[in-house]
Structure 1
Amino acid sequence: AGEEGQWQRIYIKIKGEEGRNSERERARSWLRSETVTFR
């Protein structure tokens, strides 16, 4: 049971990292499209 909880924490941590990365990518692509529009 203890091992299972540990894996859940690791999984949640990995998902959190992926979430932050996708947010960063979304912001970057949004900024790119914004600069293209301003030109």
Structure 2
Amino acid sequence: MSDKPDGVEKFDRSKLKKTNTEEKNTLPSKEIFFSLMGVNIQD
């Protein structure tokens, strides 16, 4: 038997680092996507 606990006894969310996430890899619009693929679309 080990003397280590099986799980976390208490968790303090205030100790977590706050980060701001930004969308870095946004998907292109369908017009840009199809023009890059060489497909001509018209609505």
Report the TM-score, using the length of structure 2 for normalisation.
0.26
Structure ranking higher in helix proportion: 1
Which structure would you say has the larger Rg? Answer: 2
Report the TM-score, using the length of structure 1 for normalisation.
0.26
Structure having greater relative contact order (Cα 8 Å, sep ≥ 6): 2
